[in-house]
Chain A
């Protein structure tokens, strides 16, 4: 840890702050999008849009929201997230397989 004890040059600290602000801006934008998607999802159901159309759209909106959550809020887009991404995709693959099974070959 010795390499961290030295004081940081001022310009680097400023640069980092700017970077953080930039990232925060992206996160606020993704939050706004998520709220928007939620409004659309609830709106469609309350308006009674045909279920043949609405179910795929609902699922799509949910998946996009979750992508925002994972990549922006949880920083999966940043460097050093290869292994977390690998394991999340692994989990998602098994999850998908499980859900397909339970909706198709479980009888009735």
Chain B
């Protein structure tokens, strides 16, 4: 059987992402990678928490952060998590067209999130003169939030590449694991963001 055959929905196995050995390996390996990423972000959070009192002048978390923007960003990212769940739902039902559509929506929401984040950084730098170099708090803030933003950017490129590459081919057992791991990655980005808006913004605002 060639992998390039578009599978007849009637023949598609129950879990197309785990139907082949390669798929099983990818699935497991990617989860383990996320286990490692947990430690990576914990180290960044730890550094941030250790340094979040090391501010310079008026640029404290309480003065800087505006919750309205963060709230919108949170809603965007949470919703994008749901849309990628819908995409995987349609993958399991072998509805390739709808899966692609929901992924496009996910990418659009992710792009909006990233746009707001860039605006936020721009705003801090130009309105408050709060930069990566101005204090240890600044370094820690931009590194933690920036690492998350970098993950978002990477995820967007990844999902976009998958959408374009497979548009003409449809779903098969070769690319199903790729879609599935990309969606896991996207959810993990959301997991990290939940802690960022809680620990950095909300707790920063409370003081």
Contacts and interface: CB of A to CB of B under 8 A. Distances in A.
Interface string A78-108: 0011011001101110111011011100101
B20 A99 contact: no
B150 interface: no
Given A1-B20, A7-B10, A84 B50 contact: no
A45 B202 contact: yes
A46 B86 CA distance: 32
Q: Is the interface of A mostly helix, strand, loop or mixed?
A: helix
A6 B194 contact: no
B45 A99 contact: yes
A55 B203 contact: yes
Contacts of B188: 74
B198 A94 contact: no
Contacts of A8: 10-11
Nearest to A3: B13
A69 B34 contact: no
A69 B38 contact: no
A11 interface: no
Given A42-B71, A73-B187, A103-B46, A92 B89 contact: no
B43 interface: yes
A87 B173 contact: no
Interface in B68-125: 71, 74-75, 78, 81-82, 85-86, 89, 92-93
Contacts of A108: 53
Most A-side CB within 10 Å, residue of B34, B35, B49, B75 = B35
Interface in A1-30: 1-2, 4-8, 13, 16-17, 20, 23-24, 27-28
A27 B85 contact: yes
Interface residues of A, number: 55
B38 A91 contact: yes
A88 B198 contact: no
A43 B197 CA distance: 13
A8 to B, nearest CB: 6
Most B-side CB within 10 Å, residue of A54, A94, A95 = A95
B10 A62 contact: no
Nearest to A94: B39
A64 B92 CA distance: 27
Interface of B: 1, 8-14, 18-20, 28, 31-32, 34-39, 41-43, 45-47, 49-50, 53, 67, 71, 74-75, 78, 81-82, 85-86, 89, 92-93, 173, 184, 187-188, 190-191, 194-195, 197-199, 202-203, 205-207
Going nearest first, the 8 A-B pairs with the smallest beta carbon separation are A102-B46, A95-B42, A91-B38, A84-B31, A87-B35, A91-B35, A62-B198, A51-B206
